[in-house]
């Protein structure tokens, strides 16, 4: 495959409509000199893969900080451990929602710009791949009459919707806990400052305002299925030391299922968002 060089950043496409592999070495990445090109390429390609870059936590934090405003976790931690092991994280139950297509931070006024994942421990049976879908490319490929149908539509997103995927018959107590976490009303199509548009969908999307409930579901199922078809998606089979950054403002992601006793461990850092969904 031909290597494309954007200035000094060395990369090659993964698939025509999503993903690039970054070939520049770690020292060049950590220098910060490639950060503008990395962020431009990220916006074009949805995700960037850094095969076998082997970031330590300190390097991952430092690299993330070269790309924009670093977003710490709610309790101020700089690294978030993605695992179902309850001794390692207090949010293991909520992570089960990540087995379904979503974007992160739908309740934030300005959703996070990007997330960076590093693989630390593999599931021994190769479960827990991370998959990505390019919602810019998916929007752009819609037929004009479908784009017209989406114009001006607003969608109710709720944490409860993400939990129903893995617990379809919650107790009243569970339901109340999920409902207390919140909801948001977001446009179905994000009109970015760049002039590009992306779909705002995923498992938090509960209903389209003003539509009959089943027709609302028809539209949300169609769009999720459309956006996650083969041409717009990339599935990453992790190797220890791989890192991936994704543009959370123009993509969906999910993990393929892995069991609660899996040793799979990823470390995540995040970049603050720069624009609200409008
Ligand atoms: Fe996520």
* 3-class secondary structure per residue, the chain: CCCEEECCEEEEEEECCEEEEECCCHHHHHCCCCHHHHHHHHHHHCEEEECCCCCCHHHHHHHHHHHCCECCCCCCCCCEEECCCCCCCCCHHHHHHHHCCECCCCCCCCCCCEEEEEEEECCCCCCCCEEEEEHHHHHHCCCHHHHHHHCCCEEEEEHHHHHHCCCCCCCHHHHHHHHHHCEEEEECEEECCCCCEEECCCCCEEEECCCCHHHHHHHHHHHHHHHCCHHHEEEECCCCCCEEEEECCCEEEEECCCCCCCCCEEEEEEECCCCCCC
Mean pLDDT estimate for the chain: 93
pLDDT in tens, 48-68: 999 999 999 999 999 999 999
Q: Cα of 188 to ligand 1 centre, how many Å?
A: 19
pLDDT in tens, 11-43: 999 999 999 999 999 999 999 999 999 999 999
Q: Cα of 2 to ligand 1 centre, how many Å?
A: 31
In the CATH hierarchy, which fold is given to the domain comprising 4-271? Double-stranded beta-helix (3.60.130)
Q: Cα of 99 to ligand 1 centre, how many Å?
A: 9
Domain residue limits, the chain? 4-271
* Ion ligand 1, residue ranges at CB < 5 A: 104
Q: Cα of 254 to ligand 1 centre, how many Å?
A: 7
**If you average pLDDT over residues 95-117, what whole number do you get?**
91
Q: Cα of 40 to ligand 1 centre, how many Å?
A: 22
Q: Cα of 50 to ligand 1 centre, how many Å?
A: 19
pLDDT for the residue numbered 3: 53
Please give the residue that has the higher pLDDT: either 82 or 35: 35
pLDDT for the residue numbered 6: 47
pLDDT for the residue numbered 41: 97
């Amino acid at each position: 495959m031909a290597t494309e060089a954007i200035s000094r950043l060395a990369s090659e496409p993964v698939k025509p409509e999503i993903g690039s592999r970054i070939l520049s070495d770690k020292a060049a990445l950590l220098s910060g000199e490639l950060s503008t090109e990395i962020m431009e390429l990220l916006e074009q390609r949805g995700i960037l893969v850094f095969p076998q870059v082997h970031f330590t936590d300190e390097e991952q934090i430092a690299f993330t900080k070269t790309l924009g405003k670093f977003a710490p976790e709610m309790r101020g931690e700089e690294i978030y451990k993605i695992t179902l092991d309850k001794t390692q994280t207090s949010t293991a139950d909520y992570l089960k929602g990540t087995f379904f297509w979503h974007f992160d931070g739908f309740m934030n006024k300005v959703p996070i710009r990007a997330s960076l994942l590093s693989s630390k421990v593999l599931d021994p049976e190769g479960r827990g791949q991370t998959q990505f879908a390019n919602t810019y490319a998916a929007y752009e490929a819609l037929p004009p009459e479908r784009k017209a149908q989406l114009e001006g539509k607003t969608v109710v997103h709720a944490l409860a919707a993400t939990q129903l995927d893995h617990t379809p018959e919650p107790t009243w107590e569970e339901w109340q806990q999920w409902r207390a976490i919140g909801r948001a009303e977001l446009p179905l199509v994000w009109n970015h400052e760049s002039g590009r548009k992306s779909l705002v969908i995923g498992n938090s999307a509960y209903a389209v305002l003003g539509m009959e409930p089943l027709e609302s579901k028809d539209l949300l199922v169609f769009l999720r299925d459309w956006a996650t078809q083969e041409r717009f998606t990339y599935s990453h089979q992790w190797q220890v030391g791989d890192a991936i950054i994704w543009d959370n403002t123009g993509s969906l992601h999910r993990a393929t299922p892995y069991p609660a006793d899996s040793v799979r461990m990823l470390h995540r850092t995040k970049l603050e968002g720069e624009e609200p969904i409008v």
